[in-house]
Amino acid sequence: MSSFLQSKEWLDFQRSVGHEVFEYNKEGIRAGIIKHPLPLGKNYLYIPHGPEMDLNFMSGGIKNPVNNFTSYLKNLAKDNRSIFIKSEPHEDSIAQLIVNADFKKSKKELQPKKTVILDLALGEDALLANTHHKTRYNIKVSERYGIVVEEKKDVEPFIIMLNRTSKRDGFHTHPANYYRKLVSLSENKNNNQLDTRLFVAEYNGKPAAAALILISSDIGYYLHGASDYNIRAVMAPYALHWHVIKFLKSKNIKQYDMWGIDAKRWPGVTRFKLGWGGQVKEYPGAFDMVLSRFWYMGYNMARRILSPF
């Protein structure tokens, strides 16, 4: 299945937030390639949830199309003075093909390697029955506190709450304008693939939790979230996500991808997401093709110092 991270609309969004994007589409291989800056004027090229390969189209032979794609990447990296290329394919079969074409397994993933996916074809009673008993209890607690969940257009309170959450939980955020553009993504009349929605749970009229949801095809993705730790006792995130689940079902969305778990890096978030009873899905992970070994070693050394996980 094609990922929204390889869609034309997502690549255009990346351009709108200042990234240079390259697109390859030949011989059954398709890839959107995003240029990411690094300190000291360096950069790397990134293929999120790609490349995509139509192996049926390449029935006459896989080796030449893959070699041609690899040559294109190496020339592109050389022209842009990139120190490496990072690929995070969606499928194990594609991961094996790029490993045979000079990519090596990397310990640094940009997209979550594991996620939790809820089957929204189930009825509400069945979905609740599949949740952990504490999740069901906390949904009821949030109801007793009178949590109100609404869709919002104003992204500024979400950005403020997200910055506080990131400092508390130790994760990095994008610049504020990234979220402003992301929330307004579905307002683009030329965008018929991606739909973004911002849901906010309020307690006594003030934001207590928020979720930025992206809908692509028949899947809803929980891309970004935040909560007010000072009023955590009201269990606003539980009311929030139960509302999101019911909203997605009303739009005939088939799955809710809660977008990333990692028990080591995010133990609390992981417990929360697993508590909804979905299926855990694991992707192949990240693979790097190194063009400048000296700068690549320096990049990895700096990364380990600044982000030990």
Tell me: the pLDDT tens digits for 240-258?
999 999 999 999 999 999 9
- What is the per-residue pLDDT across 121-157, written as a single tens digit (0 to 9) for each? 999 999 999 999 999 999 999 999 999 999 999 999 9
**Angle 236-250/133-144 helices, nearest 10 degrees?**
100
Query: How many other C-beta atoms can be found within 10 angstroms of the C-beta atom of residue 91?
Result: 15
Single out the residue of 256, 255, 238, 240 nearest to residue 135, CA to CA.
238
pLDDT at residue 105 is higher than 50: yes
Q: Are 184 and 272 in a shared domain?
A: yes
Together in a domain, 289 and 142: no
User: Number of folded domains in the chain?
Assistant: 2
Q: Are residues 147 and 213 in the same domain?
A: yes
**CATH code at 44?**
3.40.630.30
Q: Do 277 and 289 share a structural domain?
A: no
pLDDT in tens, 51-101: 999 988 876 788 899 999 999 999 999 999 999 999 999 999 999 999 999
76 and 122 belong to one structural domain: no
- Domain hosting residue 82, numbered range: 4-110+284-306
Do residues 184 and 277 share a domain?
yes
Do residues 79 and 135 share a domain? no
161 and 19 co-located in one domain: no
pLDDT at 309 over 60: no
Average pLDDT, the chain: 94
64 in the same domain as 28: yes
Same domain (yes/no): 42, 82: yes
Q: 133 with 170, same domain? A: yes
- E-strand ranges in the chain read 20-26, 29-37, 43-48, 52-53, 84-88, 104-106, 114-119, 148-152, 194-203, 206-216, 219-227, 255-257, 279-282, 286-290
The answer to whether residues 71 and 138 belong to one domain is no
With contact defined as beta carbons under 8 Å apart, do 78 and 254 qualify?
Answer: no
| Tens-digit pLDDT profile for residues 9-41 | 999 999 999 999 999 999 999 999 999 999 999
